[in-house]
């Protein structure tokens, strides 16, 4: 990921508007470079601790990947001219708070980041996400398994309905060796549910490969320009 001249001009305008002072081109380049390098540094940390060489706990890696995704989404929003910031630590159901420049329209964002391709190609969710359906809450699903990060922006109501229905179908079918599935709190948002679900139903005719395309880099879904 390299910032070109247009990126620098856009970031400079955002910084000057947000901080109400002039920024030189060199200052802007340095800030932009730091944002990109910070994001890349986190994602390129492997299973060896940088200082000690000891294996890093999986929880630590997951935390770093999540932080990388949050900062990347915030960077993208700032570039588009919105005011975006990390939510205070401990705030439930929110990673980022974003508003338009006038402060009239606000959205709450949860970021889910896939730093390494999973076998089912999706993002892990939890039971609680079935009940989050606010019109102001959106998810940004970051896929960084590819060469360049891709973000899917989806309203929380749609996510809740999809993962709840998918889980019901999974739970109602027989698992391996003819055993019934056991109830659990894990849910999945998948780009193609045929990889994990079976059956002849309407859900598996809709939520197949390509259904996420309508949300790919579709930042207008946040509706921060002319929300009614």
pLDDT of residue 74: 94
* 88 vs 200: CA distance, rounded Å: 45
Q: What mean pLDDT do residues 146-170 have? A: 93
Average pLDDT, the chain: 82
In this prediction, what percent of the chain has a pLDDT beyond 70?
Answer: 81
Kindly give, in sequence order, each residue whose CB lies less than 8 Å from that of residue 226, ignoring residues fewer than 6 positions away.
Answer: none
Q: What is the mean pLDDT of residues 167-180?
A: 87
* pLDDT band at residue 118 under the 50/70/90 scheme: low
> Which positions ≥6 away from 188 have C-beta within 8 Å?
120, 122, 123, 124, 125, 163, 166, 196
Confidence band, pLDDT 50/70/90 cuts, at residue 62: low
Question: Are 131 and 92 contacting, i.e. CB atoms less than 8 angstroms apart?
Answer: no
Count, residues in the chain: 228
Q: Taking the mean position of all CA atoms in its chain, how far away is CA 94?
A: 12
Q: Which residue's entry shows tokens 């709840």?
A: 164
Reported as a pLDDT band with limits 50, 70 and 90, residue 46 is very low
> Burial code of 79-109, b = ≥16 C-beta within 10 A, e = fewer?
beebbbeebeeeeeebbbbbbbeeeebebbb
Output 32 or 207, whichever has higher pLDDT: 207
Q: Identify the residue with better confidence: 103 or 46.
A: 103
For residue 1, give both structure tokens. Answer: 């990921």
For 25-86, the DSSP string reads HHHHHHHHHHHHHHHHHHHH--SB-TTT-PBPPHHHHHHHHHHHHHHHHHHHHHHTT-EEEE
Hey, what are 223's tokens?
A: 């509706």
Residue 13 pLDDT exceeds 70 = yes
| Lowest-confidence region among 46-50, 91-95, 107-111 | 46-50
Identify the structural domains of the chain with CATH numbers, from first to last: 86-222 (3.40.1350)
Q: How many CA atoms lie within 13 A of 2 on its CB side?
A: 2
Per-residue pLDDT, 22 = 85
DSSP at 195: G
Average pLDDT over residues 11-27: 77
- Own/partner long-range contacts of 15-21 (Cβ < 8 Å, ≥24 apart): 17/81, 17/101, 18/78, 18/83
Q: Has residue 116 got a pLDDT over 70?
A: no
């Amino acid at each position: 990921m390299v910032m070109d001249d247009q990126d620098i001009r856009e970031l400079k305008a955002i910084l000057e508007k947000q901080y109400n002072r002039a920024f030189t081109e060199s200052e802007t380049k340095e800030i932009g470079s730091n944002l990109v390098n910070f994001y890349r540094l986190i994602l390129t940390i492997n299973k060896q601790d940088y200082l000690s060489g000891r294996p890093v706990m999986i929880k630590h890696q997951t935390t770093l990947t999540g932080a990388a995704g949050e900062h990347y989404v915030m960077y993208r929003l700032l570039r588009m001219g919105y005011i975006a910031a990390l939510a205070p630590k401990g705030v439930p159901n929110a990673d980022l708070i974003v508003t338009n420049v006038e402060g009239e329209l606000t959205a709450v964002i949860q970021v889910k980041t896939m730093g390494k391709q999973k076998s089912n190609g999706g993002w892990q969710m939890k039971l609680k996400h079935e009940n989050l359906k606010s019109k102001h809450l959106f998810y940004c699903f970051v896929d960084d398994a590819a060469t360049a990060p891709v973000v899917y922006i989806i309203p929380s109501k749609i996510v809740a309905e999809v993962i709840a229905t998918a889980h019901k179908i999974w739970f109602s079918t027989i698992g391996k060796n003819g055993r019934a599935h056991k109830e659990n709190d894990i849910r999945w948002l998948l780009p193609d549910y045929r990889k994990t679900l079976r059956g002849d139903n309407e859900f598996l005719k809709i939520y197949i490969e390509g259904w996420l395309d309508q949300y790919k880099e579709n930042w207008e879904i946040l509706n921060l320009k002319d929300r009614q």
